Amino acid sequence: MEELTGREAVIQRLRDVGLRVTGPRLEVLSVLAAGGHLDVEAITATARERLGTLTSQAVYEMLRHFQETGLVAKFDRPGLPAVFEISGPRHQHALCVNCGRVENVTAPAPAPPRGSLPGWETAETELVFKGLCPDCAEGSA
């Protein structure tokens, strides 16, 4: 998918997937298009600053629709709220086990070793690099 830059690109992306363009949808998708991996509370707070009112429940609903249409991807963090990002080229993730920070990693996902999953039809593989982000690594040194 092409990069989302500017309000017009966000509007067009919503239309391309058949979603009606509303102020809240436009704002939530714009927040995500600004980059990073954000949880629902961060998305809601940022969008609420611009809209005035917006509930976390409304954001959850929008994110569900965005995921169903392929606009947004979800990354689950064990023990922490999931984060969301604009869908793009396939990539892997790095997860800080201390603060929960998530970064994209451009690396091919490995295939399971031949014969290790008899009878399985593998749909996708996800590789997560776990460790300390630069900020946490610096703080522990």
Domain that holds residue 56: 7-86
The segments of the chain whose pLDDT lies below 70 read: 1-5, 141
CATH of the domain at 118: 3.30.1490
| pLDDT score for 125 | 86
Task: Summarize pLDDT for 75-90 with one digit per residue, the tens.
Answer: 999 999 999 999 988 8
| pLDDT score for 2 | 47
| pLDDT score for 1 | 42
**H or E element that contains 74:** strand 72-77
Task: Summarize pLDDT for 90-106 with one digit per residue, the tens.
Answer: 899 999 999 999 999 99
Tell me, yes or no, whether 19 and 80 share the same domain: yes
Strands laid side by side in the 128-131 sheet? 102-105, 92-96, 128-131
Q: Is residue 31 part of a domain?
A: yes
**Residues β-bridged to residue 38:** 84
